[in-house]
A and B are shown apart, each in its own frame.
Chain A
Amino acid sequence: NAGVTQTPKFQVLKTGQSMTLQCAQDMNHNSMYWYRQDPGMGLRLIYYSASEGTTDKGEVPNGYNVSRLNKREFSLRLESAAPSQTSVYFCATRAGTEMKKLFFGSGTQLSVL
């Protein structure tokens, strides 16, 4: 019972490189989210997907794209990484509409040099 699985766990990129962060869930949840976590700041929502086939911008979407490949998978892509995107990225899923039912993955630590 893996829950929410994020890969990779760590990544170092050079400015301008691209990469995709993967998220997969086995809980059959409709909603999936990408957050970033920076020191001294709360988690900030980048993008979310309320259901398969739909995606919407969150609070800080610039520089990112997402794909809801199917119900299980929601990927986050950095087309041209910048140092300001150095952060810890968390994927989360939610069961139903209750806010308390938000489950987080263990995070991807990304450094952009």
Chain B
Amino acid sequence: GQQLNQSPQSMFIQEGEDVSMNCTSSSIFNTWLWYKQDPGEGPVLLIALYKAGELTSNGRLTAQFGITRKDSFLNISASIPSDVGIYFCAGGATNKLIFGTGTLLAVQP
């Protein structure tokens, strides 16, 4: 089945550092979504993007919808310990949502 390439697979950083992760696809999407999953919980939506080139922020998080509509990135600034978790991208086309493979983020205080 179709999957999105998400990188990096994992990141181990110090508190206060900035983080960047991205998703790429061979297919064009109309929507890009970014989710965070805490241990033992389901994914929770962080940011939704609907237009090519769109840049959207949610607190310390910023995400962009790539111009080609085949990629998206998520930045986290000044990371804190509660940022720990798995971050997933998801690309949407018509009524279908395809999820990325996830980026595991560990933040050391």
Contacts and interface: CB of A to CB of B under 8 A. Distances in A.
A97 B48 CA distance: 14
B42 A90 contact: yes
Contacts of A59: 1
A43 B99 contact: yes
Nearest to B96: A45
A4 B100 contact: no
Give the bracket for the number of chain B residues in contact with chain A: 20 to 34
A10 B28 CA distance: 37
Contact of B33 (A97, A100, A105, A106): A100
B98 A42 contact: yes
Nearest to B23: A42
A2 interface: no
Binding site of B, secondary structure by majority: helix, strand, loop or mixed?
Answer: strand
B31 interface: yes
Interface residues of A, number: 19
Given A99-B92, A102-B97, A43 B31 contact: no
Interface in A46-88: 59-60
B44 A104 contact: yes
B105 interface: no
A41 B97 CA distance: 14
Contact of A40 (B44, B45, B88, B101): B101
A106 B31 contact: no
24 contacts: A4-B42, A40-B9, A42-B98, A42-B100, A42-B102, A43-B43, A43-B88, A43-B99, A44-B99, A45-B97, A60-B1, A90-B42, A92-B42, A99-B33, A99-B90, A99-B92, A99-B97, A100-B31, A100-B33, A100-B48, A102-B33, A104-B43, A106-B41, A107-B42
